[in-house]
Amino acid sequence: MPSEIRHIVFSAAEVAAAIREYRRHIARPLPVGVLRRFEMYPGKGSVRASFDITPDGMPTETCEVGGTEITDALILYCDAHHIPLPSTGVKALQRFGDSLLFIVTVNLTGAGWPLSAGLAIHRPKPAEPADTASG
């Protein structure tokens, strides 16, 4: 059976929107207010997000979410925005500059993991110039 690797890149604004919608969906909404700060950083084997929300006339609230909640939020976001996503497979998150890379692998065995990290490490070597001198 063939293997599949999906890479979907989300901007920080899309990740923040996904988290907000997910929290509404599970009846644990974030405070209503202005998003003042949103940062993603490495967590335990995944990515974490920290953000500040300032409700009208109230002090700023800091919220943090872990990789599992971000993954669940992105799955819901993909479904709501009709972004094709395999329902099965191993799902992982990885920082990609200021964005977030959502990786889904299906039937991937023995190829090394994650592929995207391997591609970043192994850069192609330039070809040696051909020897034009004849002997």
Q: Which residues contact 62 (CB under 8 A, 6 or more apart)?
A: 50, 51, 52
Q: What is the pLDDT of residue 68?
A: 94
Mean pLDDT per 10-residue segment, the chain (135 residues):
88 95 95 91 87 90 94 96 89 91 84 50 52 53
Q: What is the pLDDT of residue 127?
A: 56
> Where do the domains of the chain lie?
4-121
Q: What is the pLDDT of residue 38?
A: 93
Q: What is the distance between the alpha carbons of residues 86 and 96, in angstroms, rounded to a whole number? A: 21
Q: What is the pLDDT of residue 79?
A: 95
* Placement of tokens 């919608």 in the chain: 21
Q: Which residues contact 119 (CB under 8 A, 6 or more apart)?
A: none
Q: What are the backbone angles phi and psi of residue 71, rounded to the nearest 5°?
A: -60, -50
Q: What is the pLDDT of residue 123?
A: 47
Q: What is the pLDDT of residue 129?
A: 57
Tell me the helices (H) and strands (E) count for the chain, helix number first: 3, 6
